[in-house]
Structure formats: structure tokens, C-alpha cells
Chain A
């Protein structure tokens, strides 16, 4: 089953074209990577998928229902919330600094499910545990957690709603490499049972290689190449993809010293 079908998406800000004729589909349980340098329009695509931006033209169909533009009732917004959720890049500003971690998750849960206080508490702790946090974290404020821990909270908040698709917008870019690996493993674990699909937005090809089945490469708002991730990384067809690949530092890479 196709969970996301984006057709000929286009977004124009004044004179500037941010996204040009972008089409892709995401199947149930699939993980699609959207790759490109900063400014290539990948975050704009993510925001359009979530309804945070309105496409200038083109259509988005989620779980078989076309997403009409314009104002929607809050009931319809809650229904859409259970289809698609997002984890943002910056784990510092994506949590309310005054809201305790347990409340972040409990608020999500009680918005979408009817639970008794005991069930709510149990489910909150389950979710925290599933992202590798403990009961004691529930009473903490975001400032008491590290960046990696905060990103786990953001993931728990998103999956609390039990969405069909999770969009990760550079969700590991702000974290250091060992924490990145932890979060990627966590995402791989979460994916297995529920059949949740991922849209993984990143500039980092090493990360994309680990997490995605297929990928599209964006450059200046347009898709320049698409295909299974493994093929794309092994035998890139386009110059731009090759340039992106060449920009990844590899073992044995020595910083060149200028002058002397």
C-alpha cells in the first residue's frame, strides 16, 4: 500500500523557486531518503508533507486521502496527526523548555487516545523506555537532558501518536557521531514491528546508507536522481550525486595543508 504519494510538488516564495516538480511515493514500511545539500529544498518538502507549508501547486496524498489545502477542523488535524509525524533537526528548540518530559509524552497520548490516569502513566513510561529513557527522566525538564536524550524524547512524542509515516528532518545532524549511531539503531528497532514508514531527510550519505531503502537526490529544488539507496551510492549516474559522494570524508582522508 502506498502511504505517501507526492505529485509534481512546487513551492515558490516570491521570486525564488524552493521546490520544482518533485514527485515520489513511499510504500508502507518503506524508508525513503531525501538527500541534498542545504538549500536544496528538502526541508520545504518535509514541511509540505506535514501541512506546515502549502504547496504552490501539486498534490499530496497520504494513506489514500488527498490533502486539501486551506483551513481544517481540529478533528481533521488530529486524524492527520495519526498519519504523519515529524522529528525536527534541533533537539533544543523542539521541546518546550518549561514542560517536563513525562508531560510532553502524556499530552500527546491524551490528545489522541482515551486513557485512564493509570493507563496514561503506564503508556508514557513504556514509550520513554522504548526510546531508551528511564522513569526518572519523566520528571525532568529538557535542560536536564543531553542533546541525544532530547532527540529521543522528540521521537517518543512523535511515535506516541502511532503514525503511519515518520518524517525525520536532519534528525541526527545536530548530534555527535556515537549518539547518531544510537539514534539510528533506535529508529531501525522501532521500524520493525509497526510497519511504520520513514521519510529520512539528510545531507549525510553515510547516515542515509544505514537507514533507507531508496533515495531521491535533490539539487536546487528539483530531483536529479532516484533509485535504491545501495545502487545510488555504488554507481551514481549524475554528476551532482557523484559530487555529493566525493564530499564524504573517508578513512585515510588527510586535511590538506595550504602554504608552506
Chain B
């Protein structure tokens, strides 16, 4: 804990609370998130609806709890795929060097130049709106985030004498990469992946806000900002504000955590 510092510990605690709430949503949520109680539509904060109700009278707090699942699952998938692919590309590039490195690095540069949302729009156009299309597009877009940093760390690691010693001993390139390089690069891979997770949360929420990600009536924070936006126009800003604040808090916590993990590398 001490290596995370005060802010880092607070961030980790907040994420832990969100994770537990998400998993235990059926136990903790006061209402069925999809049950429309039209009589409480656009209700403000009260003892029965602490964060009010949306335009269809669904309890905002319950929807936030359930919505964390879809909101966080997408970005988590994006980061898993892009970290694995990015690390594999980075270590291959650093090990092989020369032309292989040049080709991989230029491809990553090109991917880096295109905003993630644009990629997601392309894959959503092919696969249709919903989580799979969004994840596929963003996974491609996020690969260079991890790959670039890991490649430069792998180049440094590869130049150390213990790698030359293993090579001279006759170990295979694959064994050196998997048994020596990968474990030594792990802290950097983790730190970079966690940092990228924060951006992925924003991107996925933004795509849902645009109506191309998670589809209604599913509960999702990005969607709630959008529907809350309409409610706010009708005088009830609580839904948009609570979903927006939650996204901001989670992203900030993830960023702080990534930064702290990176510093202790």
C-alpha cells in the first residue's frame, strides 16, 4: 500500500468499491434497473430514489449499479486484447530488429495516428452497433499504446548481458523472450495497460453516448449521460450528473493507479 501513496490508495479503494458493487448489484440495488415506474418519472432525490428516477421512472442508483457491468466490461476486453497483441508485437519487433522491427513500428505509427473512435465507427459499421463492434475497433486502436512503450523497454532489456549469455548457452529465441524478457517487462506492461484502461472507459462511454455502443434499454453509464441529457432539458439533471461524475471518478482513479504502478517500476 505504501508504494501507492495516499492518492493511489484512495484510487484503488474507490475502484474496489465499484468492482464489489458491480458484482453484488443484484443484492445491493434497491430496484429492478429496468422496471419503469412512470409515476416517479423524472423524480428528484428522495428517500425512495436517492439519485432520483429517469424519464421512464427507472431508479437511477440501481441503473448505475447494474450499468457498471456493461460500462467496464467493454474497456476491460479492449485492454486485454490490445495488451496481449501489443506485447507480442513489441517483443517480436525488439527481438528481431531490422526490417521486422521497421515494419511493425511503422504499422503501429499508422494505427496511432487514427483516433480510436474512428476505428470503432468502422467496425461498428461492419459488425453493427453493440459491444462486439466497439471492442474490436478499440482493441486495434489501443494496441500501439501498449506496444510502443513495451518495445522500447524490450530493446533495453534485450541489450543486457544476461540475454547474450542465454543466447550463447543455446537457448531458443522463444524461450528467451517468454522466460526472460516477458517477466522482466511485466511491471511496465501492467502500468501501461492500466493507464490505457482509463482512456478506453471514456471512449466506450462516448461511443455509447453516440448511440453506437451499448443499446437501450440496457443500463450503461454512457447511455445514461445521453438519456440524462434529455432529462436535464426537462429540468432533472441528476441522472446525467451522477453517471458523468461516476465515469470521471473511475477514469481518474484508473489513471492515478496506472501512474503510481508506472512509477514503482
Contacts and interface: CB of A to CB of B under 8 A. Distances in A.
B182 to A, nearest CB: 10
A96 B162 contact: yes
A88 B160 CA distance: 10
B17 interface: no
B2 interface: no
Given A93-B160, A93-B161, A95-B162, A157 B184 contact: no
Interface string B6-36: 0000000000000000000000000000000
Given A96-B180, A98-B183, A98-B184, A52 B165 contact: no
Interface string A205-245: 00000000000000000000000000000000000000000
Contacts of A107: 169, 171
Contact of B165 (A77, A79, A88): A88
Interface in B161-220: 161-162, 164-172, 180, 183-184
A112 B180 contact: no
A77 B170 contact: yes
A85 interface: yes
B172 A74 contact: yes
Q: Tell which of B160, B162, B167, B180 has the most Cβ of chain A within 10 Å.
A: B162
Contacts of A158: 165
Given A95-B162, A96-B184, A51 B168 contact: yes
A86 B170 contact: no
Given A96-B180, A96-B184, A86 B165 contact: yes
Contacts of B160: 93-94
A81 B162 contact: no
Given A97-B184, A98-B183, A74 B162 contact: no
Given A81-B169, A81-B170, A107-B171, 14 more contacts: A52-B164, A52-B167, A52-B168, A77-B167, A85-B168, A88-B164, A89-B161, A93-B161, A96-B166, A98-B183, A98-B184, A157-B169, A158-B165, A161-B169
29 contacts: A51-B168, A74-B170, A77-B167, A78-B170, A79-B170, A81-B170, A84-B168, A85-B168, A86-B164, A86-B165, A88-B161, A88-B164, A88-B165, A89-B161, A93-B160, A93-B161, A93-B162, A95-B162, A96-B162, A96-B180, A98-B183, A99-B180, A108-B169, A111-B169, A111-B170, A112-B170, A154-B165, A157-B169, A161-B170
Interface of A: 50-52, 74, 77-81, 84-86, 88-90, 93-99, 107-108, 111-112, 154, 157-158, 161
